[in-house]
Amino acid sequence: MIEYDPKSWISVVCRVRGSIMLRLVPRMVVAAAIGVGAVVLFRREGTHLPSQAHTLVGVALGLLLVFRTNASYDRYWEGRRLLGGIVNRSRDLARQIATSVDDPAARAALARLVPAFYWLATQTLRRQTDLAALGDRLTAEERAALGPVANRAPVVLAWISARLRSLSAAGQLRDTQLLLIDQNLTTLNDHLGGAERILKTPIPFAYAQHIKIFVVLFCFSVPFAIVDQMGWATPPVSAVLALALFGVDEIGVEIEDPFGDDPNDLPLDAIGNGIDRAVAEIVATPTP
């Protein structure tokens, strides 16, 4: 995810990384070329289209693009909200472990598995499978056990539950404490399920296709509707219009899957590092 100062408009305008402009250049060139052809035809044959029809279609197309972008941003914001919930529940789970589990070995093992859940959830959302990337968050035996498993993050939650149940059976954890900790584990699982829902439910194909067809038809035919008024200004005006309309659609495509590795996706790695630090500090810091 790109961090920037929204008050510094020059740095925002001039930034290349994360911009969709370069991807739009070929479409802008095509629109400008069609604009040149429209000017030539108009000067030779007087060929042009009525502008009123394009005005009406442009209004409908603008509404479609707004709905498209809003749908994509809703997915983006919902993904961030779910990740924020995982951060909060992980911190609270670390607090409960630090204050309820007295056995140092058990406390260290649980504190290691809490961030492991997040990183395994991240791998699920990014469709990754390399357990070695988790480093010392998992032991060799745990990696071997998770190797053939498809739903790895929920399995780690089950391991945490099993360890807590063992502590409860040994009289080291009260039933009320176990119940409260279990509620956090259930919430973590719910947040992961919500993120998977976003990942596995793309924008309906018919909706995405319909918008793209209308944008293509509008942008590549509008030169013939404005040529009688714009003259040789038609090619640059057509290119700018293509930049605007294709750009709005491309932004929707860019943010509809917020869990990837693109510059505009959510900062999953930074969030995970924050969970690592928070859990380690909460569990390790003694009460003064």
The model's pLDDT over 38-72, given as tens digits with 9 standing for 90+, comes to 898 888 887 777 777 777 777 888 888 888 888 89
The answer on pLDDT for 158 being more than 70 is yes
3-state secondary structure the chain: CCCCCCCCHHHHHHCCCCCCHHHHHHHHHHHHHHHHHHHHHHHHHCCCCCHHHHHHHHHHHHHHHHHHHHHHHHHHHHHHHHHHHHHHHHHHHHHHHHHHCCCHHHHHHHHHHHHHHHHHHHHHHCCCCCHHHHHHHCCHHHHHHHCCCCCHHHHHHHHHHHHHHHHHHCCCCCHHHHHHHHHHHHHHHHHHHHHHHHHHCCCCHHHHHHHHHHHHHHHHHHHHHHHHHHHHHHHHHHHHHHHHHHHHHHHHHHHCCCCCCCCCCCCHHHHHHHHHHHHHHHHHCCCC
Model confidence pLDDT, tens digit, residues 228-240: 888 889 899 999 9
Output the pLDDT for position 27: 92
pLDDT band (50, 70, 90) for residue 29: very high
The owner of tokens 């939650």 is: 157
User: Tens of pLDDT along 86-130?
Assistant: 999 999 999 999 999 888 999 999 999 999 999 999 999 999 999
Residue 153 confidence class, pLDDT cut points 50, 70, 90: very high
pLDDT exceeds cutoff 90 at 206: no
Q: Specify the pLDDT at position 173.
A: 87
Distance, CA of 115 to CA of 137 (rounded, Å): 7
Say what percent of the chain tops pLDDT 70.
Answer: 99
Confidence of residue 77 (pLDDT cuts 50, 70, 90): very high
10 Å Cβ neighbour count for 31?
27
Alpha carbon distance 237, 196 (integer Å)? 42
pLDDT tier, 4 (very low <50, low <70, confident <90, very high otherwise): low
Quote the pLDDT of residue 112: 94
Mean pLDDT across 26-35: 93
Q: In this predicted structure, what is the pLDDT of residue 159?
A: 95
Predicted pLDDT at 58? 79
pLDDT (0 to 100) of residue 261: 86
In 10 A of CB 73, how many CB atoms? Answer: 15
Model pTM score: 0.87
pLDDT of residue 81: 96
